[in-house]
Amino acid sequence: MKGKTGNPEQFLPDAQEKMILNGGDAPVNAVKIPVLIALTIIYVYEMTLHLIRMRSAGNPIPDNVADAYDPETDRKWRRYHREKSRLRMLTTTV
């Protein structure tokens, strides 16, 4: 198209190539939007669960089962669980 000026769409031979310039056909976009909405809802749900779990990991052991757990083992498990949840949140976001 050397030497031609003006609107690039005027040089396209058919309507299908015009659709390519305009972002594709409508049915594809009609599928993309619900999929993106569903993925966003799932992401927000998972992040909420991770935050709730991390917050509840700081709660003390209930008195009725305190004698069944070793305090040192429980403290290590909670620390491990908190770090694992943080890593999972990071990998889910990235």
In a domain, 18, yes or no: yes
User: Which residue range forms the structural domain that includes residue 50?
Assistant: 8-58+67-93
Domain membership of residue 80 (yes or no) is: yes
Our count of domains for the chain comes to: 1
Decide if pLDDT at 3 tops 80. no
Q: Examine residue 1 and state whether it is found in any structural domain, yes or no.
A: no
Q: Are 37 and 72 in contact (CB under 8 A)?
A: no
Structural domain contains residue 2: no
Segment 30-89, tens digit of pLDDT: 788 889 999 999 999 988 988 888 888 778 888 888 788 888 888 888 888 888 888 888
Supply 21's token pair.
């310039």
Angle made by CA atoms 78, 80, 84, in degrees to the nearest 5: 115
